A and B are shown apart, each in its own frame.
Chain A
Amino acid sequence: MPPRCIDNLFLRFIQLVSLVSIVSLLFIIFFLVKESYLIVQEKPILTVFTDPAWHPLDGQFLLLPMMVGSLLIMLGAMLIALPIGLLTAILCRYYAPRWFATIIQRLMEVFAGIPAVVYGFWGVMVIVPAIAAWQAPGTSLLAGILVLTFIVTPGVTIISYHNLSQVNQTLLHSAIALGLSRYNIIRHIIFPEVKHGLITATTLQSGRAIGETLAVLMVCGNVVQLPGSVFEPIRTLTSNIALEMAYAMDTHRSALFLSGLLLLLIVLVLAFIAESMQKPKAESQ
């Protein structure tokens, strides 16, 4: 076969593959909308914010506390994981001896590979009783945040580390030649360079955090309410689906699909925010 032909074939092939992924994504969204339609038909969409409570069998579909729950747990986990992950990456890249950095890096890769359910189980056995001894009942927003932090930190560390390794070497060498301190190099040369990679890392891991289901379900208590403190139980959108999916029928089932749709919208908004944070740089270049 002439090389041109191979090229053409390859082009067709990758076009087909990307078409399949786009079509499946559209199909999933279409399916979510279609399944949610039943509930939207029966009640105005705003009832998910205005109903008195979540009692799907009695026709009450308040989803607001679960949206707040999902967002709080994600923000909490990211607020802890981001500094820890970033600082660990900086330590490994610029301060620590090579053998130490390698150990940390391997460890993080192992931690990232552990299934979330294992963290959840560990949370039930260790974190929840520890919090319960201090503030009953233990299953709480705080427990969820802590478990999620363990789940997302390895990812943040690994991506940050990779970003730090990709800094323009010329810049770095010039900075060193100028005799700048390590802190100043990191703060003023490297950080602006890797900022965008870090935003990507944050977005990816936020998506993971907000989508995490089983581990959160195990440690959060799943009571539908707006939490008054971090020691109170919450339910997230994902746990709501997992908890009630098996038994849900008709409008109840449809309301669960609506939870899924809301989750998708939240993730889209996050991605959009991350995108717009990257824009100014793209324009200035």
Chain B
Amino acid sequence: MKTQWRLFFIALLLVGIGIGMGVAACSNPSNENHQTLSADTSNALAGKLIITGSSTIAPVTTELARLFESRFPATKIDVQTGGSSRGISDVRRSIADIGMVSRKLKNSEQEFQGHLFATDGISIIVHQSKSIENITTQQVRDIFQGKIRHWQQLTGDASPLTVIHKAEGRSTLEVFLNYFALKNPQIKADIIIGDNEQAIKLVANNPNAIAYVSIGAAEYAIMQGSTIKLLTLNGIVASTDNLLHERFPLRRELNFISRNDNNPLKKAFLDFTTSIDAQPIIKEFGFAPTLH
């Protein structure tokens, strides 16, 4: 009986040590890839990167990561969304190697190294059936402050406007408010939504609605047959092409942020996102790529 207990105890101890080592190995992925890299830097890249942040950037990053992984089969890139704020706090706490931030970095965030890899535009959208093609800055300000409540004042239609706005904290909202010099408490909205797809779906189903969404998302939806259209802003067409040439004014930066350290895998991935190979993928998502 006694030896049985002793054996059982030893087995338990071994299991405990095994679990402990497993946890230690998992909880510190960056350490792990430093080791692999120092052992094998002369050859190809290897190791794991964790990228978290903006839900606008996540899909294109996933696509870029897939291509990168196929080039360097010993690498693994893990992309998780949760908003720009999460990207920043994860990098700050060293949970992630790279953060995705879909706006300009703030002054309080200068501790990070920013890597601007693309630009995204924000466009005003309405239903296809509306006889309006252009909208001015002043009209947008009036509509979103509730001074224009009726299509009468825009197109002559006898129907009330449905103003679609975003929930607090979304980076599209921040860029929109900034550009039109509005404060969130001033906004008088009929519907408040979360992401771009929701806005597009609502506008496609409601001929009287007006909303603002990422140009990339809108172009993609139109390609899929959605009944929305992009309005020109002060006469400037909202298109990826105009973004590329910095002609469309309502735009935001898409950034990768990271700590300032020498992780060759991280550097290789960031360089890859601004290489000529990454461009077609970025354009496919409706963003305008930057070249470094």
List A residues at the B interface (Cβ < 8 Å). Answer: 53-58, 124-125, 128-129, 132, 136-139, 217-218, 221-224, 233, 235, 242-244, 246-249, 252
CA of A164 to CA of B227, assembled, Å? 50
Q: Is the CB of A57 within 8 A of B185?
A: no
Identify 6 residue pairs between A and B in the complex whose beta-carbon atoms are under 8 Å apart, listed by A's number.
A58-B185, A128-B205, A132-B162, A137-B191, A137-B206, A223-B191
Given contacts A57-B169, A139-B202, 5 further A-B contacts (CB under 8 A): A136-B162, A222-B191, A223-B191, A243-B194, A244-B168
B192 touches A (CB below 8 Å): yes
**Do B85 and A57 touch across chains, with their CB atoms under 8 A apart?**
no
Which residue in B82, B184, B191 is a CB contact (below 8 Å) of A55? Answer: B184
Cβ contact within 8 Å between A128 and B206: yes
Could you tell me if A129 and B55 are in contact, using CB atoms closer than 8 angstroms? no
Distance (whole angstroms) from the CB of B249 to the closest CB of chain A: 24
Chain B: interface residue total (CB-CB under 8 A)? 31
**Contact yes or no, B168 A138, CB < 8 A:** no
Q: Do the beta carbons of B192 and A129 come within 8 Å of each other? A: no
The 9 closest A-B pairs by CB, nearest first: A247-B169, A137-B162, A222-B192, A137-B190, A247-B83, A243-B167, A246-B83, A221-B191, A136-B160
In the bound complex, how far is the Cα of B160 from the Cα of A217, in angstroms?
Answer: 23
Q: Kindly provide the distance from the CB of A133 to the nearest chain B CB, expressed in whole angstroms.
A: 10
Looking at the assembled complex, report how far the CB atom of B83 sits from the nearest CB atom of chain A, in whole angstroms: 4
B193 within 8 A of A: yes
Complex alpha-carbon distance, A137 and B201, angstroms: 14
Interface core residue of A58, A218, A224, A247 (most chain B CB under 10 Å): A247
Cβ contacts under 8 Å, A53 to chain B = 185
B169 touches A124 (CB 8 A): no
B170 A247 Cβ-Cβ under 8 A: yes
Q: A235, A249, A252: which has the most chain B beta carbons within 10 Å?
A: A249
Indicate if B76 sits at the interface (CB-CB under 8 A): no
Closest beta carbon of chain A to B47's beta carbon, Å: 28
Q: Which of B176-229 contact A (CB under 8 A)?
A: 184-185, 189-194, 198, 201-202, 205-206, 208-209
Nearest-Cβ distance from residue B14 to partner chain A, whole angstroms: 25
Q: Is the CB of B209 within 8 A of A137?
A: yes
Please name all residues of chain B whose beta carbon is closer than 8 Å to the beta carbon of A54 when the two chains form the complex. Answer: 168
Chain B residues within an 8 Å CB radius of A137: 160, 162, 190-191, 206, 208-209
Q: Across the interface, name the chain A residue whose C-beta is closest to B89.
A: A249
